[in-house]
Chain A
Amino acid sequence: MTYAQRSFLGFCLLLLSSHANAQKLNVGITFQYHVLKQVKVDSDIIKGAYSYSQYYVKDNRWKFFSAGQSIVIGTVLQLDYKRFYATIEPSYNLNTYNYVVEYPVEPDRNERINFQPLLFQVDVPFYLGFQFKSSTFVRYSFFAGGVAVIPYFISYQLRSRLADNPQYDYFHSGDMRNILYDTEPYFNTLLGFGLHFASLGKIDLRYQHRIGSPGDVYAVTFNTVGAAVTYYLPLDLKRKKIYYED
């Protein structure tokens, strides 16, 4: 069992055991949008996974929108204890990457190839937070934890500026398998800053970093920054029920 898996299991056990002592159990829904991404392949060439191609690595920068986006919709379970809170957010994630490589064609020209995998995945972020100024209506907090990611459907394509996309005749859209993605579950580390609005909800900014790389040929770094909006349902599942008898 990896360190990340042990951490996830430990967190779940912690959540279960702390349930009795918690002051409040919040249930809600969350929407996240991740638009600032970096995909960095630690190599100057990539050999295609499904073809006999070799690509030049040219662009490992952080990118706003153009490196891909993630749309996350999920549920939130949050246990509050004094200023601390523990959260787990089982979510669906529609995760895309755009990764541009170049292929040698002529002395004065490389063909730019935009690989665009699309992943449907289940994300389970789990994190611990600490709130500041807990007595005011607007509070802020820092949180840290991890994200268990389970990809369950992958689609991949080449995106070309030309409508008929002749690149499909020469390159395989799945060439980034085990480089940009694979079928195995994995973990991200998670770090964030949130603004809480009493018991109504919160917005937060979160940074994720993938632990390890897809496949074992290339070391690939994935960093993502996104925003989340969480709305807590008007329920207090820890509230004691009092029954009156006439």
Chain B
Amino acid sequence: MKTKALIALLLLMFASACEVIFDSDMRYLPVRDPTAVVLKNRLVSYTSTELVYETDVLLLEIYDGWDNTFLEKEDFVFGGSFKTTVLDFQRVSSGNTGASSSLLLLDASGSYKTTDPYNARSQAINKFFHDHSPPEDFLLGAFSKNGSLTGDGVEFYSEHFSSDHEQPTRYLFDLAKRTGGSSSLYDALYKSIDKFDAGNHRKELVSLVHAPDNASSVPWPDVVQKAKANGVRMHMIGLGSEVSLSSLAAIAQETGGFFAACRDEKEMVCVFNQLHRLLNSNMEAYRIRVKVEPPAGTIASGLEWMQAIYITDPQFAYEYNPAYVYLKIP
């Protein structure tokens, strides 16, 4: 009797062990916030007293594949002390087709202690590489002068583009141990254009920048000229408050790329989370036609026009990062 009771007790123990253990293949990124990205701007018309332009603004949600398309024009507030009128407000689909070749340039200058204290960028970039599948390919590079990188201001992981996302992982994470020196963004962009060749697909160059360029010998207009001549689109992701917004916005605008001015690493991670889609797929953006009336005499040929758009999602009381519109008056 006692033996039977003991066996029953053992069976009870094993029965209680038959609990299903949750399993999942999902991968997570560091915490991120919704982020505004300026896809493109277009000058519609101008006189000496007014300027009409059109801008496409994309609002990325924190989950890959989701855009915020529920805002109204009242949720977009335009910066500047002059009169601004929204002439038209609509939602548009914007996107790219065909395979791309992406070159990612990572700012390895200075220190990320304040802008990305836990090195979320390496995880976010790694995710971007994981999103690739052949025939898409990518190449990783980093830039800084008088720091720990080899080469003259820019260093590449490999000589050739590749679709293998496992290969550059070690190099990518080790870059966090090699930050220092001064930013040489324009030199790096200029040289990086040469990495593309006729064998590449659609040429996309993405830069993560967190410091002002104070070590380059090439001016940014030369970079733009060379990029245009080679059919390279340059996308700019600014991180923190020290970046030169106007030059980043200008390079992106002039070469057909997007510009995201991320206030912190959470917004930067959000952009990288959806970067592959940004470069290779469709997005739902807002197209806003705006008339601005600055003081007479302000608008003249050669003027570089910058205007911030402040966006709020009233449902969640969330303020997006400012979207910066850049235009150059011909």
Residues of chain A whose beta carbon lies under 8 Å from any beta carbon of chain B: 27, 45, 47-48, 50-54, 75, 77, 90, 92, 103-107, 111, 122, 150-154, 166-167, 169-172, 183, 235, 237
Which residues of chain B from 178 to 215 have a CB within 8 Å of any chain A CB? 178-180
Partner of A104, one of B21, B27, B173: B173
From known contacts A50-B26, A52-B123, infer whether A106 and B170 are also in contact, taking CB-CB under 8 Å.
no
Given contacts A152-B17, A154-B21, 17 further A-B contacts (CB under 8 A): A50-B24, A51-B29, A52-B29, A53-B126, A54-B122, A75-B10, A90-B10, A90-B13, A104-B122, A104-B174, A104-B176, A105-B119, A106-B176, A106-B177, A107-B180, A111-B118, A237-B2
From known contacts A104-B174, A106-B111, A153-B19, infer whether A92 and B13 are also in contact, taking CB-CB under 8 Å.
yes
Tell me whether chain A's interface is mostly helix, strand or loop, or mixed.
strand
Would A50 and B118 count as touching, CB distance under 8 A?
no
Partner of B21, one of A27, A166, A170, A183: A183
Would B17 and A122 count as touching, CB distance under 8 A?
yes
Would A106 and B10 count as touching, CB distance under 8 A?
no
Q: A84: shortest Cβ distance to chain B, in Å? A: 21
From known contacts A45-B170, A90-B10, A106-B112, infer whether A52 and B17 are also in contact, taking CB-CB under 8 Å.
no
Partner of B169, one of A47, A51, A106, A172: A47
Interchain residue pairs A-B with the least CB separation, the first 5: A52-B126, A104-B176, A170-B118, A183-B21, A169-B31
User: Does B231 sit at the interface, judged by CB under 8 A?
Assistant: no
Partner of A107, one of B19, B21, B126, B178: B178
Would A152 and B21 count as touching, CB distance under 8 A?
yes
User: Does B219 sit at the interface, judged by CB under 8 A?
Assistant: no
By a CB distance below 8 angstroms, the chain B residues around A54 are 122, 126, 169-170, 172-173
From known contacts A52-B126, A105-B176, A183-B23, infer whether A152 and B170 are also in contact, taking CB-CB under 8 Å.
no
Tier of interface size on chain B: 35 or more
The chain B residue sitting closest to A185, CB to CB, is B17
User: Does B299 sit at the interface, judged by CB under 8 A?
Assistant: no
Measured in the bound complex, the distance between the Cα atoms of B235 and A145 in whole Å is 62
Q: B63: shortest Cβ distance to chain A, in Å? A: 16
Chain B window 2-19, contacts with chain A (Cβ cutoff 8 Å), 1 for yes, 0 for no: 110010011001100111
Partner of B14, one of A105, A122, A169: A122
Measured in the bound complex, the distance between the Cα atoms of B328 and A47 in whole Å is 46
By a CB distance below 8 angstroms, the chain B residues around A235 are 2
Measured in the bound complex, the distance between the Cα atoms of B117 and A169 in whole Å is 12
Measured in the bound complex, the distance between the Cα atoms of B123 and A53 in whole Å is 5
By a CB distance below 8 angstroms, the chain B residues around A166 are 118
Which residues of chain B from 19 to 55 have a CB within 8 Å of any chain A CB? 19, 21, 23-24, 26-31
By a CB distance below 8 angstroms, the chain A residues around B17 are 122, 150, 152
By a CB distance below 8 angstroms, the chain B residues around A167 are 118
User: Does B154 sit at the interface, judged by CB under 8 A?
Assistant: no
Would A107 and B179 count as touching, CB distance under 8 A?
yes
The chain B residue sitting closest to A103, CB to CB, is B119
Would A151 and B30 count as touching, CB distance under 8 A?
no
By a CB distance below 8 angstroms, the chain B residues around A47 are 169
Please name 29 pairs of A and B residues whose Cβ atoms are closer than 8 Å in the assembled complex, sorted by A.
A48-B27, A50-B28, A51-B27, A51-B29, A52-B124, A53-B123, A53-B126, A54-B169, A54-B173, A90-B13, A92-B13, A103-B119, A104-B119, A104-B122, A105-B118, A106-B112, A106-B179, A107-B148, A107-B178, A107-B180, A111-B119, A122-B17, A152-B19, A152-B21, A166-B118, A169-B118, A170-B118, A171-B30, A183-B21
By a CB distance below 8 angstroms, the chain B residues around A152 are 17-19, 21
Measured in the bound complex, the distance between the Cα atoms of B5 and A77 in whole Å is 13
Measured in the bound complex, the distance between the Cα atoms of B31 and A211 in whole Å is 37
By a CB distance below 8 angstroms, the chain B residues around A103 are 118-119
Would B31 and A170 count as touching, CB distance under 8 A?
yes
By a CB distance below 8 angstroms, the chain B residues around A154 are 21
